Structure 1
Amino acid sequence: MRNLDLKEKLYKHFGYRQFRQGQEEIIGKILEGRDVLGILPTGVGKSLCFQLPALLFSGSTVVVSPLISLMVDQVKQMKAGGLKSVIAINSFMDYKEKRKVLEQLDQYSLIYLSPEMLQNKSVMYHLTKMHVDLFVIDEAHCISQWGHEFRTDYLKLSHSIKQVGNPVVLALSATATPEVQTDIKEQLARPEMDAVVYPMDKVNMSFAIEETASHEEKLERITQVLSHNKSPTMIYFSSRMWAERISEELKSRVDQRIAFYHGGMEQMDRLLVQQQFMNDQLDVICCTSAFGMGVDKSNIRRVIHYHFPSELESFIQEIGRAGRDGKPCASLMLYTPGDYHLPQMFIENELVKPEDVEGILHSLYDIVDSQDSILNDEEIAEELKLSETQWNFIKYQLEQEKLVNHHPNITDKHEWTRTAEKIRWILQNRWKYKNRKLQEMVSWLHHPDCKRKKLYSPFQPETRTPEVACCSNCGFRMEDMKLDSEASSVRFTDDWRSRLAKIFHQGDYHATD
């Protein structure tokens, strides 16, 4: 399909006259029948890379996405734009609703699923009965065993792709080092995938890193920054407790609309906070990493980190939510010497210690051997005193050794001992990797030269010249940043009106005050 035709289709279906960075190249390759690994920075519209082809193909497009809220949001956006043949199959559907959807699954051109839902036998049965043109993996770094969002069901996707007839594959991510890109291709058994990699450095973002002596000093600094300019701001925390605590403290110090968000909240409360922030009814969100993925809010001006994450990839993902409109934005990282134990604690909660593996497998063998009925995953994890992530990792390794088929099987106990040795070796490597990633993060915090160049150096050979002040090591201070909150509000309103006009196919819309 010629470039002109693609732009005509883009305007017809989405109302845009031009593609953003990387979109046209990726879509062109997909339509030529080539597998693509697309590495595009956060905020450039990666979803369009599969949404437009889905409308052009005669069959269906399957999209594997890690978050239900992200899937539901994209489905709502497409339906609001008049594109009805889209569905998200998730665990919140009741039995009758899911059965009805599955019975008419071939009527949908775009089908969103989680990697876990794709392992559902009924879902896979219906997918194998239809024609799938394109198989999409969003947040594709999760495929990599060494990626920063390890999800075991992502590692089963190569088998799922074969089951649905080996369609064209598109893997998308905003943060993947060359090492992870290679691992993604290997895990998908597609070493010849075309890699379309664009620079991820944000030329409209300034970076500030400040060491503080205490949490009280952090709070004082955030109060100063928020008071200096009133503009949409995200503040990231490593724990739910701190997100709630600082949210309440800031409410008493700053005359702004502030709320907290984390994964421990009720779903409706999370959705309410997210929508209020999207609609400019909240100024500041105090959140954990549970908030942000898929949040398409163009006028976020600042991302503040109260705690630093355990990997540069996570940091780049989180700051990528600011400045999607191309206007100046800033990242502020605050840290105290006492913060260093937090990411280490999270690594320990995610990974089993190598020296504990043999004891865990022996206990699991004894538990299964003594039970009259099959225990579910939650019960097994509780019996073994493992977190959900730890048990999922152990279970996946047992599945690879054919010792587990959804539930542990009783086989030769010596086979379990041999498997324990293999898992221990895998974990030793994983501990080294995780601690290396944490050290990269810490090294960046203390880097004496340009923070921008150091931040992006593991991902790309060069960084572009920024359009704004560079970083605190190059002379930038948060007080140097001038923000026009009224302009932000107007931009959001105009965006809202434009989207409404597109829904009713009114063409170009000119607002009058």
Structure 2
Amino acid sequence: MTDSFQELNEILQTGNIPEDTSDFSEACYQRLLDALGNSSGSGDIVSLVRHILRREDVKQGVSSQTLLKVPRKPPFPNRSIWEQFSIKVLNDNDDDEYYLINAHPWQPEWLELSEQYPPDTPVFKEENRRSYEEVAPDPFLSLVQRKSYRSVGQREAIRAVLTAPENSSLVINLPTSSGKSLCAQLPALLNSRTSGVSVVVVPTTALAIDQERALKPFVNHDTAYYGDKSQEEQERREGIRNRIRAGTQRIIFTSPESLMDSLAPALYEAAKLGMLRYFIIDEAHMVEQWGDDFRPAFQEIPGLRRDLLRLTSFTTLLLTATLTESCLDTLETLFGKPGEFQLISAVELRSEPSYWFSNCETEEVRKQRLLEAVYHLPRPLIIYATKREDVESWKRELNRSGFKRCGVMTGQSSSQERLQLIKNLREKKLDIVVATSAFGLGVDQADIRAVIHVCVPETIDRFYQEVGRGGRDGKASISLTLYTDLDLEIAKSLNENSPINIERGLERWQSMFNRKESFGNGQFRLPINTPPSSREEDIDMKNKQSTAWNIRTLTLMNRAGLIEIESAEPPQRKAFESEDLYKLAWDTYRSSRVIRIKNECHLDKSTWETDIEPIRLQRQNWSYKNLQLMKKALKAKVCISEIFAEAYTIPPRQTIKKRNGVTVVRACGGCPVCRKQRRTPFSGIMPQPLPVWHNPKFFVGEELQRLLANEKLMLIFYESLEDRSRKRRMNAVIKWFIGQGIINIIIPHNYQENLIQDRVQNSNNFIFLFEKYQPITMPHVPTLIFYALGNFFSHNCLSINHQWQAPRIILLPMDTPDPTRTDRKLINIFPGRQFKFDRFCTEIGI
């Protein structure tokens, strides 16, 4: 037994619970001791004791030999409660002061093959399932105290962001937990060390709070823009807006609604000062999924972005872990202009979850199975339901069953409730979260071991995203879906919530357009709070609901190319003589939208039938396919990795405007089909993305341009570096090249620390480090290759690729032979631009 287990034994017998539990290395011990010291329910305590017993069993490689003595007095329950959790009481004497107990694997008869494959064993064992490995860093990674990239996909995505052309848009498609968020955060921090603002649009307050927490060590001010009407929150938000106007905010996390409303004036001010660096949408698939349905502000963002781009230049980043072809088409339609639009992708399916499904005949059967699962599965765990009222109902059921360390999160949860829940979960004061899909997007709680669905998600996307909350630390997790036939009907009805129909949409458009005001430059301002018609049933329509449908109508027309939703600068307080006039201007701004007509037949029903209807049908077909894939997963006829691969594979586009495709590397942590076929969990290898930019951003300093003399290749021959003064000058030369725009540096690992690392830590320039010259996989930017004495010199270093616009400089020993003929030296026969090292130092003043 471990030292922690022996210490726990002593604590249980003495009753002296330590205040500080940090000496216990495993979270399950910390959770139990916190529960014992904080009036928890019997279910909480027994499940946490079970967690420890099963954890010790699997660590020792046995099934149920770990014995523990627990008191027979409260808060510990009686014998019958222990047995519900598959914990056996070994002593029968009622006079004993303690129960002697051990725990058995969970093998429910209602889960097929659970006898051969106990569902809880891999998760208690915490098997490592992650296949992708960390890779060597670039020097600037130290800005966020990282010693390596989390994955090769993360490294190439960050390099693509840093070399993105002016005004371009980049879709970053990486698996959950592979480091996607840092792909935006690190470039934002790199480019705001003196000044600058990057705005990150997130779908939930929980995600904004979590992102703020992650960046607290590196940003010394508030970064999450959320809040309520309290004085403290109002002051917090005002402070963020003031820093945006001054260009000192660095990075901000906000919702689409806040972006379009209270943040807009400050962002326009920052744009006028040239302070915007990156415009980022995290969980970008929500632009289509939620923008089409109940949060149209997602699809209004492009209009604001285009208007800001008229004032300044910045890069747009669209981050997602679940990109479908339909979603990519939508993102390209909305964000494909004015600059280049590209996709960088490295998709390897999650190998951490094992998948289990159970069709429950009645709601009562589901309740019994859920409670049994909660009795047996490790902590922490998440229970997902579709409706808010279901979440509340399941929470009450858990409370009645002795589980008090349980919290809820829905779309109705306040900012403070969300913040407190995330804090409690992270501090191990909460073991169970019951939630709707409002919880989870991007929340980085690494040690979730189980995800239970008491519903059928209406899309395979939602299912994969929610299952992805488990095992983010790379260790095994379990996905359990408990569903009824009624759940399938509910999923179907939710899935069929399609965009507004032709007749009603045209009616709403005519109503808005009849009240238009010319805004100049071919633009019109339309009211969005107008009813769709003068009919009695429409006149009294709830204003908020009607407004949402009007916005949805405009976004549908925008996608179909009938109009373009523009944006106008919001009113600034300084432009008005009184607060009343300012408020009136804001009311007008909030209740109207600026559009530009692109199809003059926009009022004709035939135009709507030819242009709008295909968009509606495309959305319906995508929704239908997504639901069918979810049903296919429940039927368990093929490995679930095939279903996910079908959902997320995107073929490349070879038309005039070429677009990269998405290849999905399959992985499965265990599913019904694999268990029947006795196939062990498997994972693939994350693919390395190739450079995406045809013309990446870079600069070449005037001095370097002069020395290159219109050539793209230059050789510099040096003598031995054993001389200290020459070595110092080599350091200075490399630093000079970095200052002149060199980004790729190829240098052997044993030279990197001396010649590179200490020279760029405090530099405003960034560099990418390589050990070998790899022209196919390297960004097409200014490149310096350093060859050490004795290293083999490859001929491909001298080849000229006319598609590359960036220069290449090679530092190499004087005696380097001609790679095509070893009987002669390269310095004597190379026909291009070349220098001897000392002469070059004189040229640049070193």
Smaller-chain TM-score bracket:
0.7 to 0.9
Q: 2:238 aligns with which of 74, 97, 105?
A: 97
CA distance in 1, matches of 2:356, 2:502: 38
SS in 1 for 2:378: coil
Q: Deviations over 1:327-364 (max 9, x none)?
A: 11011122211112212333455633445434555677
CA distance in 2, matches of 1:329, 1:71: 25
Query: 1:345 and 1:178, CA in 2 relative to 1: closer, same or farther beyond 3 A?
Result: closer
- Farther off after superposition, 48-57 or 238-247: 48-57
CA distance in 1, matches of 2:469, 2:434: 14
Q: 2:157 aligns with which of 26, 38, 57?
A: 26
CA distance in 1, matches of 2:135, 2:371: 51
Match status 1:53 vs 2:183: no
Q: 2:466 aligns with which of 318, 328, 336?
A: 318
Query: 1:443 and 1:382, CA in 2 relative to 1: closer, same or farther beyond 3 A?
Result: farther
Structure 1 residue 147, shift from structure 2 partner: 7.8
SS in 1 for 2:625: helix
Structure 1 residue 302, shift from structure 2 partner: 0.8
Amino acid paired to 1:221: R
Query: 1:15 and 1:225, CA in 2 relative to 1: closer, same or farther beyond 3 A?
Result: same
Q: 2:178 aligns with which of 34, 44, 47?
A: 44
Amino acid paired to 2:203: P
Amino acid paired to 1:132: L
SS in 2 for 1:334: strand
SS in 1 for 2:343: strand
CA distance in 1, matches of 2:372, 2:636: 25
Structure 1 residue 398, shift from structure 2 partner: 6.4
Match status 1:15 vs 2:155: no
Structure 1 residue 106, shift from structure 2 partner: 0.8
Amino acid paired to 1:40: L
Q: Residue 512 of structure 2 contacts residue 528 of structure 2 at CA under 8 Å; is this kept in 1?
A: no
Query: 1:73 and 1:450, CA in 2 relative to 1: closer, same or farther beyond 3 A?
Result: closer
Query: 1:314 and 1:163, CA in 2 relative to 1: closer, same or farther beyond 3 A?
Result: farther
Query: 1:166 and 1:304, CA in 2 relative to 1: closer, same or farther beyond 3 A?
Result: same
Match status 1:131 vs 2:267: no
SS in 1 for 2:148: coil
CA distance in 2, matches of 1:326, 1:231: 16
SS in 2 for 1:458: helix
Amino acid paired to 1:283: D
Structure 1 residue 323, shift from structure 2 partner: 0.5
Query: 1:443 and 1:147, CA in 2 relative to 1: closer, same or farther beyond 3 A?
Result: farther
- Farther off after superposition, 134-143 or 319-328: 134-143
CA distance in 2, matches of 1:233, 1:126: 44
CA distance in 1, matches of 2:257, 2:420: 26
Query: 1:355 and 1:214, CA in 2 relative to 1: closer, same or farther beyond 3 A?
Result: farther
Q: 2:452 aligns with which of 298, 304, 309?
A: 304
Q: Residue 350 of structure 1 contacts residue 387 of structure 1 at CA under 8 Å; is this kept in 2?
A: no
Q: Deviations over 1:175-216 (max 9, x none)?
A: 102443344234212585442212241112111122111221
Q: Residue 64 of structure 1 contacts residue 137 of structure 1 at CA under 8 Å; is this kept in 2?
A: yes
CA distance in 2, matches of 1:382, 1:73: 43
Match status 1:407 vs 2:592: yes
CA distance in 2, matches of 1:326, 1:204: 6
Structure 1 residue 256, shift from structure 2 partner: 5.8
Q: Residue 218 of structure 1 contacts residue 334 of structure 1 at CA under 8 Å; is this kept in 2?
A: yes
Structure 1 equivalent of residue 671 of structure 2: 471
Q: Deviations over 1:463-507 (max 9, x none)?
A: 4454x4x1122228xxx99xxxxxxxxxxxxxxxxxxxxxxxxxx
Structure 2 gap segments, 5+ residues each: 1-133, 517-525, 533-537, 568-590, 650-662, 682-846
CA distance in 1, matches of 2:368, 2:539: 41
Query: 1:5 and 1:376, CA in 2 relative to 1: closer, same or farther beyond 3 A?
Result: same
Q: Residue 498 of structure 2 contacts residue 616 of structure 2 at CA under 8 Å; is this kept in 1?
A: no
Match status 1:331 vs 2:486: no
Structure 1 residue 272, shift from structure 2 partner: 2.3
Structure 1 equivalent of residue 630 of structure 2: 441
- What TM-score comes out, normalization by structure 2 length? 0.49
Q: Residue 648 of structure 2 contacts residue 664 of structure 2 at CA under 8 Å; is this kept in 1?
A: no
Query: 1:179 and 1:146, CA in 2 relative to 1: closer, same or farther beyond 3 A?
Result: farther
Structure 1 residue 173, shift from structure 2 partner: 0.6
Query: 1:429 and 1:122, CA in 2 relative to 1: closer, same or farther beyond 3 A?
Result: same
Structure 1 residue 164, shift from structure 2 partner: 4.8
Q: 1:73 aligns with which of 187, 199, 210?
A: 210
Q: Residue 355 of structure 1 contacts residue 424 of structure 1 at CA under 8 Å; is this kept in 2?
A: no
SS in 2 for 1:285: strand
Structure 1 residue 307, shift from structure 2 partner: 0.9
SS in 2 for 1:338: helix
CA distance in 1, matches of 2:636, 2:539: 42
Structure 2 equivalent of residue 208 of structure 1: 356
Structure 2 equivalent of residue 114 of structure 1: 255
Q: Residue 212 of structure 2 contacts residue 224 of structure 2 at CA under 8 Å; is this kept in 1?
A: yes
Match status 1:390 vs 2:549: yes
Q: Residue 200 of structure 2 contacts residue 252 of structure 2 at CA under 8 Å; is this kept in 1?
A: yes
Match status 1:427 vs 2:616: yes
SS in 2 for 1:107: coil
CA distance in 2, matches of 1:30, 1:86: 24
Q: Residue 127 of structure 1 contacts residue 164 of structure 1 at CA under 8 Å; is this kept in 2?
A: no
Q: Residue 239 of structure 1 contacts residue 288 of structure 1 at CA under 8 Å; is this kept in 2?
A: yes
Alignment of 1:76-225 (within 5 A): 76-79=213-216, 81-84=217-220, 87-90=223-226, 92=228, 94=234, 97=238, 101=242, 104-120=245-261, 121-128=264-271, 129-144=273-288, 151-156=298-303, 158-160=305-307, 162-189=309-336, 192-225=340-373
Structure 1 residue 394, shift from structure 2 partner: 1.6
CA distance in 2, matches of 1:6, 1:161: 34
- Farther off after superposition, 226-235 or 139-148: 139-148
- What TM-score comes out, normalization by structure 1 length? 0.78
Q: Residue 225 of structure 2 contacts residue 252 of structure 2 at CA under 8 Å; is this kept in 1?
A: yes
Amino acid paired to 2:268: Y
Structure 1 gap segments, 5+ residues each: 369-373, 482-513
Query: 1:261 and 1:55, CA in 2 relative to 1: closer, same or farther beyond 3 A?
Result: closer
Match status 1:249 vs 2:397: yes
SS in 2 for 1:221: helix
CA distance in 1, matches of 2:397, 2:428: 21
Amino acid paired to 1:393: R
Alignment of 1:237-386 (within 5 A): 237-253=385-401, 255=403, 257-347=405-495, 351-358=499-506, 360=508, 377=529, 383-384=540-541, 386=545
Structure 1 residue 245, shift from structure 2 partner: 0.7
SS in 1 for 2:480: strand
Query: 1:71 and 1:462, CA in 2 relative to 1: closer, same or farther beyond 3 A?
Result: closer
Amino acid paired to 1:249: E
CA distance in 2, matches of 1:423, 1:85: 45
Q: Deviations over 1:376-410 (max 9, x none)?
A: 7498899446577534312435676489995389x
Query: 1:401 and 1:333, CA in 2 relative to 1: closer, same or farther beyond 3 A?
Result: same
Structure 1 residue 56, shift from structure 2 partner: 1.9
Amino acid paired to 1:335: Y
Query: 1:304 and 1:134, CA in 2 relative to 1: closer, same or farther beyond 3 A?
Result: same
CA distance in 1, matches of 2:211, 2:148: 20
